[in-house]
Amino acid sequence: MDNLSDALEKLKIASTDSATDSVESCLDCLLKALANNSTEASMKIHEMGVLPLFPTLLHPQSSCTPKVANIIAEVAKNEFMRSPCVEAGLIPPLVQLLNSTDQEVLLQTGRALGNICYDSHEGRSAVDLAGGAQIVAGHIKSLSQNTEPANEKLLTVFCGMLMNYSNDNDSLQAQLISMGVIPTLVRLLGIHSHNTALTEMCLIAFGNLAELESSKEQFASTNIAEELVHLFQKQMEHEKKEMIFEVLAPLAENDVIKLQLVEAGLVECLLEVVAQTVDGEREEDIAQLKTASDLMVLLLLGDESMQKLFEGGKGSVFQRVLSWVPSHNHQLQLAGALAIANFARNDGNCIHMVDTGIVQKLLELLDRHVEEGNVTVQHAALSALRNLAIPVVNKSKMLSAGVADVVLKFLQSEMPPVQFKLLGTLRMLIDTQAEAADHLGTNGKLVERLVEWCEAKDHAGVMGESNRLLSALIRHSKSKEVVRTVIQGGGVKHLVTMATSEHMIMQNEALVALGLIAALDLVAAEKDLVGAGLVSVLHKLLSDERSAPEIKYNSMILICAVMGSEPLHKEVQSLEFINIVSKLRAHENKTVSHQASLTEQRLTAQS
């Protein structure tokens, strides 16, 4: 350290005299000290005020310049030195040096700027202000074809510098994207795929940039999919595959890139990874299996990529993914069920899958997860069944296969995501299926649970689906027994509340169900309808100009239906419905105006 202090003192003197030889020997001493103990040497350099001397030494024509830039690069490896480097005014002369044609100068300057930018807001701002990123991006573009080792080393440093410059900073990443860095980096990956260090640097840069939505369009216009798949096929090491996965995941969120990845053969790579790791017990096998199967499911979220892999239900990929469902591995069961849910996104696929026995596989999977089951697998399998139940022709087939009975086994689940999918599946199954709605609607345990979930205020989705299923049981069964079960279970008040929902479809479903309750068993429901304030809810719906025509229509139908009840009739009279209804006779919707005339006659006759 004494030698270092001497060297620093000499450097102060020599730098003013421009004595090149003595400056060079002082710089050699500094580099030696930094190599020996970087932290201590850096502190000494800072304390003795040597940093402000460096700008004058960073002269493009000086033979000392590469060494000075090297010292700055070494010093800036220490976090506490990055701001002092900026404050000492080192950034503008370093950026100027980027215009040099000397390879060693460029290399050391790139290192220095990259290290100053690492995790340093001040460093990045100063480089941004001096326009350093543009020059570096230009160099990468012009040097990209050259495969000489020295040039590849320089490219690696420059890519690293841009990465440190923009990491975790959306506006600087957006700046690089607008400079056209993405196509250049993709080209680099293709030309230099043999160079591990440069390839890794490109991958890390892609990982950073791919998080930004605005990057996806640029990536989609390159051959990134082919390059990444080609690179993936060559990798043997787990870490390298993981690096590529980290780039693939954000890119695969874009539908155009999903299709490109499928066409480039990524799916085959993923299936191979699954086959190699499914029985593995090492942590890295488990991690790779999860990443590969998750990515597979993600690729199926794109309509075109999904349909390409479905191949009319004959696709080998589709068949392989189906074989995951009966697997002993939870991760594969999950991915298999999610994949089916993704394939089941149009009627043609759903009908084909139900006809080829997929429902049975899903039911067997659910049966394995009833007791102490895996919640994510339950949720995924129920999602798949819900989607498969959408086409009308599938409903009766799925009911005959016993889907409702298996789904009901999860009625005791305390997990909101499972509750939500269970409700959605049952609602899809009974749509237009009177017999099934009647059967389920007279199941006291089910109705009791629905009424309980109608109060799940912490889980809006579960609450909404419970109300909708309660209404659906009545609407599709049109059964007095179902109405009675719902009344006894305490469901009426929830349907009245549902009529005030912000979603028109739910308002309408509630009004139709309440109309059927009033028509089928008004006497039994009377007390609950009064207690829930039905009449004032209807008054509000009819008075509100924003209410849709069907809401107004069904509200008037319901008013007529409750006139047979004395207490409800009295409420209708006291709120002077006749005034609102007579105004609705002039409504632009013919169905509404016609119903208003009928309702007015009814109100007048019974006043």
User: Would residue 329 count as lying in a domain?
Assistant: yes
Task: Provide the 8-state DSSP code for 547.
Answer: S
Nearest one of 134, 123, 23 to 73, comparing CA atoms:
123
User: Would residue 190 count as lying in a domain?
Assistant: no
Task: Provide the 8-state DSSP code for 391.
Answer: S
Instruction: Render 448-505 in DSSP notation, one character per residue.
Output: HHHHHHTT-TT-HHHHHHHHHHHHHHHHHH--HHHHHHHHHTT-HHHHHHHTT-SSHH
Nearest one of 62, 119, 123 to 92, comparing CA atoms:
123
Give the pLDDT score at 39.
92
Give the pLDDT score at 26.
84
Tens of pLDDT, residues 266-316: 999 999 999 999 988 888 889 999 999 999 999 999 999 999 999 888 888
Tokens of 597: 């005339």
Instruction: Band the pLDDT of 117: cuts 50, 70, 90.
Output: very high
Which whole number is the average pLDDT over 123-128?
Answer: 96
User: Would residue 158 count as lying in a domain?
Assistant: no
Domain that holds residue 600: 533-606
Q: Quick one: what percent of the chain has pLDDT higher than 90? A: 79
* Spatial separation of the C-alpha atoms in residues 409 and 422, rounded to whole Å: 10
Give the pLDDT score at 20.
63
Residues 403, 305, single domain; the answer is: yes
Give the pLDDT score at 607.
62
Residues 284, 420, single domain; the answer is: yes
Tens of pLDDT, residues 468-502: 999 999 999 999 999 999 999 999 999 999 999 99
Please say which residue of 432, 464, 485 terminates a domain. Answer: 432
Tokens of 336: 């298999």
* Spatial separation of the C-alpha atoms in residues 82 and 165, rounded to whole Å: 13
Nearest one of 374, 397, 375, 373 to 385, comparing CA atoms:
397
Please determine, for residue 42, whether its predicted confidence score (pLDDT) is greater than 70: yes
User: Would residue 575 count as lying in a domain?
Assistant: yes
Compute the radius of gyration of the chain from its Cα atoms.
35
Which whole number is the average pLDDT over 543-559?
Answer: 93
User: Would residue 375 count as lying in a domain?
Assistant: yes
Tokens of 447: 């109705």
* Spatial separation of the C-alpha atoms in residues 516 and 501, rounded to whole Å: 19
SS (H, E, C) 142-161: HHCCCCCHHHHHHHHHHHHH
Instruction: Band the pLDDT of 18: cuts 50, 70, 90.
Output: low
The total domain count for the chain is 3
Tokens of 475: 């609407």
Residues 278, 379, single domain; the answer is: yes
Contact (CB, 8 A) for 227 and 244: no
**For all residues of the chain together, what is the average pLDDT?**
92
Please determine, for residue 175, whether its predicted confidence score (pLDDT) is greater than 60: yes
Residues 276, 373, single domain; the answer is: yes
Tens of pLDDT, residues 441-473: 999 999 999 999 998 888 999 999 999 999 999
Contact (CB, 8 A) for 201 and 156: yes
Give the pLDDT score at 434.
95
Tens of pLDDT, residues 352-376: 999 999 999 999 999 999 877 899 9
- Which one-letter amino acid corresponds to residue 300? L
User: Would residue 590 count as lying in a domain?
Assistant: yes
Give the pLDDT score at 17.
57
* Spatial separation of the C-alpha atoms in residues 321 and 231, rounded to whole Å: 24
- Sign (positive or negative) of CA dihedral 82, 85, 91, 96: negative
Residues 580, 528, single domain; the answer is: no
Instruction: Band the pLDDT of 16: cuts 50, 70, 90.
Output: low
Contact (CB, 8 A) for 134 and 179: yes
User: Would residue 154 count as lying in a domain?
Assistant: no
